Structures are given as structure tokens and as C-alpha cells.
Structure 1
Amino acid sequence: ARHPYSWDVIGVHEDLTAASVDDVQEFFKTYYSPNNLSLVIAGDFDAAEAKRLVEKYFGGIPAGPSLDRPARWIPTLDRERVVEAFDRVPQERTFIAWPTPQLFGDGDAELDLASKILTDGLNSRLKKTLVYDKQLCTDVTSFQYSLEISGMFIVDATARPGASLAQIEQVITDEIERFAKSGPAPEELNRSRTKWESQFVSGLERIGGFGGKSDLLNQYNTYFGDPGKFEEDLARYRKATGEALRDTVAKWLNNRNRLIVRFHPETSSRESQVALDRSKQPAIGADKPFRAPEVKTAKLENGLEIYVVERPELPKVAVALATQAGSVADPAGKEGTAHLTVVNLDMGTKTKNTLEIEDSLGNLGTSLQGFAGRESSTVSLEVLKRNLAPAMSIFADVILNPVFPVAEVEREKKRHLDNLAQEANDPNALAARVQNMLVFGPDHPYGRPRSGLPATVKPLTRDDLARFHETYWKPGGSALIFAGDITLAEATELARQNFLAWTGGAPPAVTIPDPRPLGAGKVFLIDKQDAAQTVVAQLLAAPQRKTDDYYQLNLADAVWGGGFQTRLNLNLRENKGYSYGAFSFPSLYSKSGIWVASGGVQTNKTKESIVEFVNELRFLGGGKPITETELADAKANRVRGYAQNFESLGQLVGQIATLWSQGLPMSELQREPDELQRATLAAVIAAAQKYAVPGKATLLLIGDLSKIRSGVEELKLGDIIVLDTEGRPVTKQ
């Protein structure tokens, strides 16, 4: 018999096509039944009222057939099996997988911890060897995939150009053999435990999502019939010993009874339910008013601003430093400088090298995250409260004292160039790279690729990064943000201890000129040979974030494509079946913005999909004005979903950092849902007509030109220009 995990959850096209309506109805009657249901309600609600409603709407649904839980079935392999696959990928990659125990099975927790020791952090065993020392890989990851009846341990390594998969696989095999013989060092075990606990506690911040409270309650209840296994789950990891990890790795991983899947670049190419009326949906209860979290503030003498949201429910704190050092400040011809500066901050300070920094943070159960946006850069960490003080010391050291060692910068530059090569092979990433070029101009601060291009990244040196850091990372242009189990007084004291000595005032202002668009009324094509889909992107100029009609534009977007039940997605996905999803989103910066609608469509339906994109834009711009019902749905979607932006400490810190970087007051946290509720239909229609102007739209298509170009030409939408993957016109067409 086939193992229940041997086929994809979403099935394959042939089976889906063969399924009849009777098959689907019978499956629904069998499995979508109350006796096979685990229902979790999580959030801000009255428990007694929730129970009453559950009884009302679910109590009268007839039970389905009795169902037995599947028995444990860990498959076995009697030898090493190798699959060689070829696809249009820029780098080789190997996946090595072993059958392993199920969730809560003997060895499950130990394999989770072993995975962290092997690949979590730059100083982990495999990452240090393959990425840092030997530089054979761009990245290497591993995880224990624990399910109900069995599990699977996977190591995934992406080879650097020219590196041998055989050599990489041998390094992985040798390291696992070494682990099986000697086990982990005490500090490795302690670090992996602390990291796992921090990750577990972080998941409990969220009421939903993978690893959130409701997810874990349902998982425990479904698999074990007991939703209250939080403490038992945590205890598995706390009691795991080095010997147990060693023996578990020896039992499950230190063998050749495994699967290896190797991906290689394709070389062939051409030129370039109670008595209820169940036919009606129950009415939704009254909305609770949103109350924004209180943001407390302070400021150090050196100009560093401090923002604090006290949320003491969990013993954890999220911290971020935002600074006015985004990609708009990249020197001309050196795009990618802001990005590489952030990437290399923790590659060495005046007192610690990168592996010492990695070890120190890992021992505290945390790691640094960094991101260079358009107008600001952010460095952040999340840590258990007991470890906050020492973590802040390392956090400040990295921000204030980076030395940008030459060897580290060169290694990280190589990795970034590898990532840029992968980006050039990903149609969605390509669209994100090129769209701003077309709307703002390729040399405009908002138009230049945020993380650079190969030609601008290759020449960058450690001196470029050091100079950029010295020029733009300043206390007078920065904000230190805390959220979690911390008071304003505690946060201010930590800031004084670690950042008061930071000097330098404010950074120089960056001049943002008016946009110089390339493509209004034009069609741009980028060729992706043998692409199964075409990415269609419709580009519009948009206002700055502080525009008076920001909220009205937000609601117009919620009608057009900013969600699932929107015009674009219902048309392209639900009605026509051309796309898995088509959506829109405005990105509004301090001086101007861009409004993008996009989606991947079937290659053989590219022409028809473009017609629908064009029609929907015309309808939004006045051909089919937004209705009262659509506006009410848009408001409900945006206002009811708004609170989800504050679910985790990291999200909360991110919201504050975004407002700060845009020069907006923290009162905006409460103002946004209030203004969305107040917006009138006339004002929303006016905003739609102001910005959704078909004649000013640019169309960007990324797909197989040999299959889509003739159809595009037949539409006669405007001049057609073929671009390369860096947005430059291709002379040979």
C-alpha cells in the first residue's frame, strides 16, 4: 500500500481532472464532519457567548462516519536513492532526506535540536564549513519535518557556481557521522535549546498562523486528543541530553538509507449547519472598536529617539533600530551599498569577529535581522527578557562599531551576487526589480534596484561600506524601538548604557527629484524561455504617503486587487481560471509612490489575461464605479484585518519603524482605522479616478516571448519594448 504521505496535498492535474462531483461530495460528507473537527477560537471575545454561538451553529450538524486516526507508519529505505532533476535554475542544489519519527515520537525533539546545531546560524556546523570556511554553498538549511504518523529530516544545500554537489554531500555526510560519534558540545546543546525556546515563545505571540496559539491547540488536539500539551512539548526539549542527540542522529541520520534529489541548471536553450437555514451565511456580530497600543517616547541627548510599547504578557522583548540609511542614499553607480552595509554589520566589530558575535547571540537564543529599505534601514532582534541586557550590549556593538573585514565583505558579496543571479531567473523577482525603473526612471533614487545589480555590486569594497555607515548611520537620524515585557524607564536606561556615546548628529538629507517615468502607455517585455506562466504587472504612478487622499486610495485598492475577494482576483482566478491569484498594492514613499497590479497567468492565456487587466483598470477608473456594497466590503476587510498588524512583538516594532521612517506621528496607529471608517463613497471614487488612469499605465510582461509576443502585438496597447533582466532595452528583437 502507498504511504499516506507519498502524494502531494494538492494532488496532481490528472487526478483532479478524474475526480467527479460525487467523489468530492462523498469526501466532504466523510471528513468535513463535527466528529472530525477541532475548532479553536482565539482572540478578544466573550467565552460564554462564543460557546453559545458554537452550540447554535455547529450543535445540530449530524455526525459523519466514525474515523480512526491513522497508525504510525515510518517508512524505510533499504539503500540510497538518487534523483537527478534539470530545470531553468541558476545554481545547483541538493536535498538529502531521511525517514524519521513522528511528532512527539522518540527522537523527534532531539532531531529538532540537532538541526539547529547543524545549520542555524553562521557558526552552526554545516553553515560554518560550507558557507563560511569553504564557501562551497550560498546557503544550507536543515529541519525535522514532524507530522502525525512519521517525519522526515531534510538537509538542503545550494551550491555556489562551480562547486561540486558530490563534495558538498560528502561534507554533510561526514559532519553527520562526526555528530553520531561525538554528539554536541555542551555550549551547542545549550544554544540550540535556548534558540528553540525563544522560537516557541515567539509563536505564542500570535493567535493564528503556523506555530501560533490556535495552530498549536488544534495540532495537539487533533494528533493527541489533548489541546493542553504546551508544557509537555516544551519539556521535551529542556530535558534532551547530549547523549540523546548523539544516539538519535546515529540511529536516524548516520546511514545511507536516504533520498538525494539534485537539481541542475537546464543547459538547453534557444537564443536569448439546529434548525437553521444553512443556505444563508450567519450574520457577523458587531465589530469591536480598535484601540491602538500606547506608544511611549523619550529622547537621548545625542538625538536618538526611543519608542516603547509595554506588552508584558510573555517574557520577551523585541528591539529594532531604524535609521535613515536606505537605498536612496546609495552613491550613483554603487547601488547595493545600503544593502551590503546592513548585511555586513555583524561580520566583525572592534572587539569580536563574526563567529564570536554569532556564538554570543546564539547562546542568548537570538540572532540579528537586518533590512535595507528604500528610505531607511533596520536592524532588529527578539530575545527572552532574561537575556535582554547582554543582547543589547552586542546589538549596540554591531551597530556602532562594525569594521567591515575585507574577507567577510568579499564572501558576503559573492553570496549576494549568487542571489542576484537567482533573482534574474525568478519572474516575480524580476518584476519587482524592473517596475520601479519604469515608473520613476532607472537613475531615480526610487527607481534604482534596492539591492543593486551585478555590475554595481561587484566593484563595492569594504571602504565603500565603511564610508556609507559613517555618513548615514547617525543617532540624530535613528530611532530605537522596544515592544514587550519592558517599561519606558527600563528601555531608556538600556539605551543610555549602550547608545549615549554615539555621536555624529544627523545624516545628510537625500534629494529626491520628481519621477522621470519611461513607460506610460507602453508595453515592456522580458523573455523567460519555456516559462509556464507569464507575470503580468500593471504599473501606475501614485502619490506620497502623506497625501490627503491616502485612506481613500487604500480603500480603492481594497476593491481593485488588495485582497482575495477583489475585482481582479475574482475575475482572473475565480471566474476565468487564468491565474492562481492577481492582486494589487500601493507602495507610497515620502515623496511619491507606485501602484502595482500583478499576477502570474497561464502562458496560453496571456493575451486574454491582459485584456482583463486592462478592462478592470478602466472599470476602476470610472467605467464601472465602486459601489456602496464594494466600499462596505473594503472597509470591513481593511478595518477588521488591521489588528493583525499588531499581533506579534516584531510586527508592532515594524509598524512603529515604518511610521517613524515616513515622518508620521504615532497617533497614525489609531487614525488609520478611524479614517478608513469615515471615508465616503464619493471620495473613494474620486481617488480611484484620479490615480487609476488607463492611459498613464505601464504594462510589464515577463514570459516566453516566442509564445506571447504575437498576441500582445494584436492588442495594440502601445509601443512594445523588449528589456533584458536588468531593465535595459534589447536591440535585437
Structure 2
Amino acid sequence: MRIGTRASLGALAAALLVTSLAQQPLAARDRSEASAPAATPGAATPEELVAKVDIPFESFQLENGLTTIVHTDRKAPIVGVTAYYKVGSKNEPRGRTGFAHLYEHLFFGGSANVPNFDIPLEAAGSTPTNGSTWYDRTNYVETVPTGALDLALFMESDRMGYLLPAVSQEKLDQQRGVVQNEKRQGDNQPYGLEDYVISEGLLPVGHPYRHSTIGSMADLDAASLTDVRAWFTDHYGPNNVVLVLSGDIDAKTARPMVQKWFGAIPRGPAIHPVTAGAVTLEKSASRDITDQVPVLRLTRTWTGPGLNDPDAPALEIGMHILGGLASSRLDNALVRGQELAVGVTAGAQTYEAMSQLSMAMMVKPGVERAKAEAAFDAVLATYLKEGPSKDELKRAVVSTLSNEIGALERVGGFAGKGATLAEGMVYSGDPAFYKTRLEAMAALTPEKVRAVLAKWLSRPVFKLATVPGERTLDGGALGGWGDEDTTPAPAPDDKAPAPELAPAPERTAPPLGTIGDLAFPTLEHATLSNGVPVTLARRTAVPKLQLTIEFDAGTSADALDTPGTQALMLDMLDEGANGLDATQLAEAQERIGASIQTGASTDASVLNLVALSDNLAPSLDLAAGILLHPTFAPEDVARLKATRQAELSQALSSPNSLAQRTLGAALYGTHPYAQPSDGLGDAASLAALTPQDLKAAHAKWLRPDLARITVVGDVTMAELKPLLERAFGGWTAPATPAPVKHLDAATPQARARILLVDRPNSPQSVIMAGRVLPMDGTAKNGEALDLANDVLGGGFLSRLNADIREDKGWSYGVNSGVTKNEGPRALLVRAPVQADRTGDAIAAIRADMAALPGEKPVTAEELQRVTEGAIRGLPNQFETNAAVDGAIRMNQRLGRPEDYYATLAQTYRGIDAADIGKAAQAYLQPDELTFVVVGDRTVVEPQLESLGLPIEVMPAPSTATDSE
């Protein structure tokens, strides 16, 4: 994947503290059937929800074996193009690990008739244009305006049939460097080496799922041009591909287009089936590793059956009940009940031929390890003995179905309707397999789930403990076949020039057709009896809606309170409210397929409700109770503070978070925006917060005269307003004046410097740079600056990324951005780079910034891409309810007119290269940038000394909180 790879379930590690730790309700409750509540009146049944998950399609196959599936959805003038190649890392032999993923990167480097894959598509308005690799497949996605579909098919077909003439040694070397930096980036994270160790513990050498998708450094180094050409020839024929077109297209129109562009590509060799089933260990095994992590993490993992096994639905739902639900067995017992953990999770990561079944526990600091281990294993033993209750089963199924319905908002992308149809065909031979799977889930019984869990989780287990300490494993040596010490890998072909290839046929790109304009939803307005304004954008693509209550607060409000107050107060809302404890609140949401989340950005605090339209009334009742009547029980506050302390330790051990926190404080000084954007405050401030402090903050900030409500989705104003009035109409503002944040406070004088945070044993340095700009978010005519940033670092084709990632291969991705706060905006640059290129990367960043617009003014190609490309891509940006909701709230927060996005195309067309250059000259120069570098001082500091900037060195904060 070119942006954000390695999403594996073993990455339960990094995800745990940003997902499971956000769900900390109250005390464990009786799970007997006698205590199970009655069904929620009016709530849709699982069977009714399954009936709403429907993706009609037609399909056809060309003579060369290319299978095409077409789904028609006319909601917007866009088409998702999704191509699934039936080759992944499980197809790689010894000595060739990482090849499938490396080739995915090469696929974007141009083909015989397409010099660059990204430039024409981005200029045509494609969003996103990306690809990813996993064990079972490689996929490529782009969502394009309907008028650009012909161009997209031409380009996809050219790289499918005529890629090799464009794959040079130079391109191979560049992308090899990018992939290796992607590996370093993943390895550099806390718990980032667990995936490798779990695979080694579960699977024998040679098992197709044992080696990592990203491969080993040694195999990537050895890959020759001859090797990668052979890989393409053996695997990338059209007969090994499923193409899905979803959106503003029909099969009658699609078939001649697909025939025109793909029909002449010859059939390739069939990919040989891979035998790769579940493995049962002879006996349970355990392993400890030490790493630079904040808390002890315990993991239990088994292999399980593949996607098409009849046990797979029961395992997915059963593991969801164990540790995926907000009210999961593990949460109730270990986080809320015995308070031995600060986070837990469990899940089934299902592949085509096998699965990984995992449960994990982040042990609360101060808890004896043996006690934690015993309690962790006891939860599983009890669960396997008694199985789930009917209520648990229904909640798990309904919440899963609700998520599936939400995914249907997108026609393309990695998780939309196109990917759903493609995966069904690739893995199961049936594009509608999603429906078979969901129907099987809806038909499950508690006894069926219990029996399947007992069958698979009673087998020997692999136990891993990641212990805080010094990192002793070398991630660069991990990820390969596994027997390199005893069995030499096949010698790769030498890197002599590969044989000349026959020239590809000349093909000409088609012109763009008519590109439809953005049709931003019509907004309706109302005001509740208590004065709270309501904005509705009705959209009926899926039977769901998103409701957001936004308050003028956010993390910057902590400048008037204790640091960390706002986020902790918001997190406490669903820890107990309106007579219900946290478990009851979580269960009530799960029964009706609702999700209620709270959080804070820099400027705003929000309560967000995602609900099924059929279940809106009970969903609003829950949301109102959580918002208006939180309990703030002292025991819950104490527990959640411990969890937040663990999250803070996690943030301080993550190089990205540490860089961000360091830079924010340096740029903003005593301004409200200096508060850590993660909302965690610091250890001392968290420790000092009391239930009374949180109650006071709730009364101070979450009041109707600071609130507005935005709703996007399948509901009318006539239906919505009475329900809102019933839920929130009686909510009144206190007599005290509303608080006012001082966003006009002064910020420190910007100055050029480097702040080096010493983080030993870091294979990669995280560079962040920034300065506060002399403008705030409400400034008019900021679009030229936004476009200038797009040229500099705002996308994959930006100058910074093209230079440091694509040309030099020092990073997996470099980007820049200009914040859109209400108060002073800031320019930010982020560049994770290989450690030995830290100084060179800073020099390159400064040079690239200084060259715009002086030495290298904006080119015609760049101007077209960031203006016309952005205009053409506008319809793609608002495919989901969440995207529309965010746009409406951004307009309100920054004082923009309601028709801002409807008129944005006209605004862009009025901006020329000179305007972009002026904005770059005024705001995007490298002078006075503060650079933060989080990396190994012994490696990095000598490189920085030649840059001529003052260097301040500081140690990384201590984060280890060992269990006893």
C-alpha cells in the first residue's frame, strides 16, 4: 500500500490504545439469560438489517479471462474502479518475500504508454488513487468522475498489459528504498515487532502466511530487474484479475469500454493454488520480548479456518463478543470489573485459507503479571464453557450489520461496494458472498457460537508478552522466510541488465468526457425551543444518518482549565449516565446498531451519533442521556484516569505523537493552541483532576448556548425536529455567562532551530517542522494558500513527496499542511525518514520550500492539477454522510457561507500561477521554521550540525510503567 500499509491483526498492538482504550465503561454485570433485557421497541431485527444490505450487480468475462462486475449507483457522477489481482504475499517463494508488495509500488511508476499513473488521474479528479497488498491479493483503486472513466480504464489496462517496458533499474531501486522505509516506519512504532514474532510462533517455516507481506530487508535488497519482470509475467495476466466498476455506470455501457481497452491483453499463466490451512501447535508456547513500550502487553493467538469455512461467521461474531464490542467480555471483566487492564481487544482476522484469532490485554501499571495472566485466561475459560448469551449475540450481529450498511455509502475505495463485490468473487467465487456471510451471522445461535469457539480456542495457544525495556530485536532482520540461518535462500539473479523486451503497441489516452459539477446537498434549518440551531442535509443513499452536537470548546479550552480536562470530561460521558452504567450504555447502543462517540478537536468538543434511520428515536434518547446526565462517579473517574495515563505513556513512546506534542508546545508557547492536540495534558495535570473538576467543566462548556446540531442522512426535517425537541428541548443554559477562549493571545516569535528528542534504537527519524502564520482560520481568500500547499506537500504528487520519497527513496511519505483553526493557523511539515538521511532530508525540505516560487515557479502541469484536478474531484469528496457533516461544521466554525463548496470551483478558476506563487512566497518559506527530530541522537546529531541551525537536545520522556 502506498500510503499507510501493514494493516494486520497482529497490529492489534498499535491500534489497541486508540480503539479499545476509548471504550472504558463501568462494572461487570450478570450475563445470565434471566438478566437479559427485552428487545428495544421499534428496533430493526438482524434479519431486517440483512435485507437492507444489497449491492445489485451484473458481470461478464472477456475471452482473455478478465472478469468484470458492474454495480449501478447514480447518487453522484462518479465511478469506483477496483481491480483485484489474485496474488499476494502467500504466493511468494523463499528468497522472494515482499515481491507482491514491491510490485504494487512499481505499478504506479508508469507503463509503456503512461509515463506516470498518478498525474493524469489526479488532474482528472480521481480520489483516491491507491493500492494495497495483503496475503491473498493485490488491489488498486481509484474513484473518478464519470467523464474520466474511459481514461482510467485505458491506464489500468496499459499497466496490466504493457508495464514491463517501463520498469527500469532506476525505478526498481527507488521503490525498493520506499518500501524499506515503509518497513522501518512500521517497525519503529511501539509494539511494532509483535506481528513478526506471532507469525513465527504460530506457523512453521514455509507456511505461506508465515512471512510478512512487507518481506525481509535481505530479500528486498536482492530483488533484481529480471526477478521482478518474471514476477509480473507469472502473476499479472487478465485471467487472474477481477475488475469492478461501481457507481454512475451500467453493464451495457461498461462492456464495450472494457473490451476496447483490455480485450487485446493476452491471457497469462494461471496462478497455482496455495495450500495454507490452519495449523495446530503440538503444545502451547510462550515468548517474552522487551521493547520501548509503555505497558506490559499480553497476547493470545491461534490460527483458525479460512473465509469460506462454515465456522468463520461464528468465530468472527464470537471473537467480537469476547473483545470487540464496547461491552465485551474482556472489557467488563478486566477493565471495568477487576481493573487489571487499561485496554483489551479480541478479533478474528480472516484470510482466504486461514485466520488469526487473537486476544490482547494491556496490563494496568502496578498489577502483578501473574495475576493479570490468570485473570486474562480465566475470562476465556469461562466464555468457552458458557458461551454467549442471546443478548450478546444479537448485539454483536446488529453492530456488525450496522457497520456493513455504513460501508455501502462508498462506491469505491478499499472498503466500499466495489471492494465488497471484488473480494466475494476473488475469495469465494461469488460477488454476493457478503450476503451469504451476513445471513449466516443473523442465523447464529448461542450454542453454535459456543461450540465453534470451543473447537478452535481450546487448542494449544501461542502466548506473547511484550515487556517494557530496551528493544532487543532487530526489525530489519525479521519478516522473511524464517530459516535463513540454516537454509540459504535461492540465489537471486544478478543485477546485470535484463534482456530487452519487445516494444509494446502504441496506445493513445482518450480525452476526458464531461465532468459533472458538485451537487452539495441542500441544507434545511430549524431552531429548537431552547435556541439550539439545527442544520439538516438529507441524503438517502443508505438508511443511516450522522448527527453531531458541536460545542465551542475543544482542547484549546484547557487553557482556561487544567490540561487534559476537556478530553477526560468527554470520555467520562459514556462511563455512566441517566441511571445506566457504562456497560449498559454500550449494550443499549449495540442492540440498535447505534454508535455514540465523544471527542475534541482544537476548537470544538463534539458528541457524534451514527444511527440506523429506523432506530433514530431510541438512539437519540441514549445520546441525550449521555450528554445531559453523566454520572462522574469517583470510582469511574479514577479508573479512566489510569487509562488516560496509559494513553499518555503510549503517546510519549510513539515517535509521531512525541514529535507532534513537542512541536505544538514550541510553536504556541502560552497560547491556548499550545495544549497537546491529543487532549491528554501531562501526567501531573491528569493526576490532579477530580470528579468535581469534570462536573464543573461539563457545566461550563457543554451548554446549549455554545452548541449547534448538524444532521446528515436519511431523515426529513419533519421527522427529525420533533425527536430532537423531545430529547433536547428541555435543556437550558445556566445563568452564568458562557466562557470565552482567548484565541487572540500572542504566540512566540518564530525562529529557526532544531529540537532533537533523543530516542535510542530508532531505525527511522520522525521530522516535524512548523511555524505560526500571520493569519487565522476566518481570513478570507485563503484558497490560494491551500493550492500553494498542494503544490508543496499537500498530496502524493507534491514536490516534497516527489523529491524525498519518489526520487530519493528516503521516506515512505512526506507531507505538509496548513491548519484550519479558528485562531492562528500554522504551517506543518512531516517527514519520517531513514535515520542515516535525517540531516539530508531537512536540507532537502528547506531547499524545496525555498525554490517555490523563486527558482522553480509553479508549472502549468501543477496549476492544472491543483485547480482543475481539485474541481473535478469535488463530487468525490462528499460521498459519505461524515464528509458532508464535517464540511458543514467547518463552514460554520470558520464563518464561511453555506454555498462555499458549491462556489469553490469558481474560486479555484479565479486563481492563477502568480497567485499561488505569492501565497507560497508569503507563507511557505523555510525561514523561521522550528524543526523537531525524534530519533537516535548518536546517529542523527552529527548530521544536523552541518545545517547551520541551533540545536537543542532533550531526552525522550520516560514512559515505561512496568507491571509488578
Q: How does the TM-score come out when normalised to structure 1?
A: 0.94
Checking the alignment, whether the CA contact within 8 Å between 1:585 and 1:596 is kept in structure 2 is yes
Q: Which residue of 606, 613, 628 maps to 1:385?
A: 613
Q: What letter matches 2:933 in structure 1? A: L
Q: Which residue of 804, 809, 812 maps to 1:572?
A: 804
Q: 1:470: which partner in 2? A: 699
Please list, as runs of the form range in 1=range in 2, the aligned pairs for 1:127-142 lying within 5 A after superposition: 127-142=331-346
Q: 1:76: which partner in 2? A: 280
Task: Tell me the alpha carbon deviations over residues 224-280 of structure 1, each in whole angstroms, 9 at most, x when there is no partner.
Answer: 22212232222011111111101001100123x1222221122489xxxxx984576
Which 10-residue stretch deviates more, 374-383 or 505-514? 505-514
Checking the alignment, whether the CA contact within 8 Å between 1:558 and 1:638 is kept in structure 2 is no
Task: Tell me the alpha carbon deviations over residues 56-95 of structure 1, each in whole angstroms, 9 at most, x when there is no partner.
Answer: 1111111101234435622222111223222111111122
Query: Kindly tell me: are residues 162 and 636 of structure 1, through their superposed partners in 2, closer, same or farther at Cα, counting changes over 3 Å?
Result: farther
Matched, 1:701 2:933: yes
Q: What letter matches 2:763 in structure 1? A: A
Matched, 1:261 2:492: no
Q: Which runs of 5+ in 1 are unaligned?
A: 270-274, 728-733
Distance (whole Å) between structure 2 residues aligned to residue 139 and residue 415 of structure 1: 8
Q: What letter matches 1:101 in structure 2? A: P
Q: 1:599: which partner in 2? A: 831
Q: 2:63: which partner in 1? A: none
Q: Which residue of 474, 477, 486 maps to 2:715?
A: 486
SS at match of 1:39: strand
Q: Per-residue deviation at 1:11?
A: 1.0
Distance (whole Å) between structure 1 residues aligned to residue 418 and residue 371 of structure 2: 43
SS at match of 2:584: helix
Q: 1:328: which partner in 2? A: 556
Q: 1:525: which partner in 2? A: 756
Q: What letter matches 1:444 in structure 2? A: H
Q: What letter matches 1:467 in structure 2? A: A
Matched, 1:413 2:616: no
Matched, 1:448 2:679: no
Q: 1:147: which partner in 2? A: 351
Distance (whole Å) between structure 1 residues aligned to residue 649 and residue 772 of structure 2: 28
Query: Kindly tell me: are residues 709 and 282 of structure 1, through their superposed partners in 2, closer, same or farther at Cα, counting changes over 3 Å?
Result: farther
Q: 2:849: which partner in 1? A: 617
Q: What letter matches 1:40 in structure 2? A: V
Q: What letter matches 1:418 in structure 2? A: A
Q: What letter matches 1:698 in structure 2? A: T
Distance (whole Å) between structure 1 residues aligned to residue 398 and residue 326 of structure 2: 16
Query: Kindly tell me: are residues 17 and 320 of structure 1, through their superposed partners in 2, closer, same or farther at Cα, counting changes over 3 Å?
Result: same
Q: Which residue of 191, 202, 208 maps to 2:406?
A: 202
Aligned residues: 719
Checking the alignment, whether the CA contact within 8 Å between 1:621 and 1:694 is kept in structure 2 is no
Q: Per-residue deviation at 1:529?
A: 1.4
Q: Per-residue deviation at 1:144?
A: 0.8
Checking the alignment, whether the CA contact within 8 Å between 1:89 and 1:425 is kept in structure 2 is yes
Q: 1:190: which partner in 2? A: 394
Q: Which runs of 5+ in 2 are unaligned?
A: 1-204, 473-502, 959-964
Task: Tell me the alpha carbon deviations over residues 507-531 of structure 1, each in whole angstroms, 9 at most, x when there is no partner.
Answer: 3222212442255212221111121
SS at match of 1:91: coil
Q: 2:887: which partner in 1? A: 655
Please list, as runs of the form range in 1=range in 2, the aligned pairs for 1:529-608 lying within 5 A after superposition: 529-542=760-773, 543-608=775-840
Matched, 1:28 2:255: no
Please list, as runs of the form range in 1=range in 2, the aligned pairs for 1:15-164 lying within 5 A after superposition: 15-45=219-249, 47-71=251-275, 73-164=277-368
Q: What letter matches 2:937 in structure 1? A: L
Query: Kindly tell me: are residues 386 and 252 of structure 1, through their superposed partners in 2, closer, same or farther at Cα, counting changes over 3 Å?
Result: same
Which 10-residue stretch deviates more, 509-518 or 136-145? 509-518
Checking the alignment, whether the CA contact within 8 Å between 2:208 and 2:274 is kept in structure 1 is no
Distance (whole Å) between structure 2 residues aligned to residue 650 and residue 695 of structure 1: 37
SS at match of 2:245: coil
Query: Kindly tell me: are residues 302 and 688 of structure 1, through their superposed partners in 2, closer, same or farther at Cα, counting changes over 3 Å?
Result: same
Q: What letter matches 2:546 in structure 1? A: A
Which 10-residue stretch deviates more, 31-40 or 706-715? 706-715
Q: Which residue of 295, 311, 335 maps to 2:539?
A: 311
Which 10-residue stretch deviates more, 9-18 or 284-293? 284-293
Distance (whole Å) between structure 1 residues aligned to residue 868 and residue 225 of structure 2: 34
Q: Per-residue deviation at 1:475?
A: 1.3
Q: What letter matches 1:361 in structure 2? A: Q
Please list, as runs of the form range in 1=range in 2, the aligned pairs for 1:4-23 lying within 5 A after superposition: 4-23=208-227
Distance (whole Å) between structure 2 residues aligned to residue 166 and residue 36 of structure 1: 50
Checking the alignment, whether the CA contact within 8 Å between 1:176 and 1:249 is kept in structure 2 is no
Distance (whole Å) between structure 1 residues aligned to residue 513 and residue 791 of structure 2: 23
Query: Kindly tell me: are residues 551 and 439 of structure 1, through their superposed partners in 2, closer, same or farther at Cα, counting changes over 3 Å?
Result: same
Please list, as runs of the form range in 1=range in 2, the aligned pairs for 1:217-256 lying within 5 A after superposition: 217-255=421-459
Distance (whole Å) between structure 2 residues aligned to residue 268 and residue 361 of structure 1: 41
Matched, 1:686 2:888: no
Query: Kindly tell me: are residues 394 and 632 of structure 1, through their superposed partners in 2, closer, same or farther at Cα, counting changes over 3 Å?
Result: same
Matched, 1:461 2:690: yes
Q: What letter matches 1:562 in structure 2? A: G
Q: Per-residue deviation at 1:369?
A: 1.2
Q: Per-residue deviation at 1:49?
A: 3.8
Query: Kindly tell me: are residues 678 and 268 of structure 1, through their superposed partners in 2, closer, same or farther at Cα, counting changes over 3 Å?
Result: closer
Which 10-residue stretch deviates more, 389-398 or 82-91? 82-91
Checking the alignment, whether the CA contact within 8 Å between 2:817 and 2:829 is kept in structure 1 is yes
Checking the alignment, whether the CA contact within 8 Å between 1:119 and 1:127 is kept in structure 2 is yes
Q: Which residue of 336, 341, 360 maps to 2:569?
A: 341
RMSD: 2.2
Q: 1:364: which partner in 2? A: 592
Q: Per-residue deviation at 1:662?
A: 2.8
Distance (whole Å) between structure 2 residues aligned to residue 632 and residue 317 of structure 1: 36
Q: Per-residue deviation at 1:330?
A: 1.5
Distance (whole Å) between structure 2 residues aligned to residue 631 and residue 277 of structure 1: 31
Q: What letter matches 2:464 in structure 1? A: V
Q: How does the TM-score come out when normalised to structure 2?
A: 0.72
Query: Kindly tell me: are residues 124 and 278 of structure 1, through their superposed partners in 2, closer, same or farther at Cα, counting changes over 3 Å?
Result: farther
Q: 1:730: which partner in 2? A: none
Distance (whole Å) between structure 2 residues aligned to residue 291 and residue 560 of structure 1: 29
Q: Per-residue deviation at 1:52?
A: 2.6
Identity of aligned residues (%): 29
Q: 2:629: which partner in 1? A: 401
The structure, 1 or 2, with the larger RCO (C-alpha pairs under 8 Å, 6+ apart) is: 2
Matched, 1:512 2:743: yes
Distance (whole Å) between structure 1 residues aligned to residue 622 and residue 408 of structure 2: 26
Query: Kindly tell me: are residues 454 and 609 of structure 1, through their superposed partners in 2, closer, same or farther at Cα, counting changes over 3 Å?
Result: same
Distance (whole Å) between structure 1 residues aligned to residue 368 and residue 206 of structure 2: 34
Checking the alignment, whether the CA contact within 8 Å between 2:546 and 2:712 is kept in structure 1 is yes
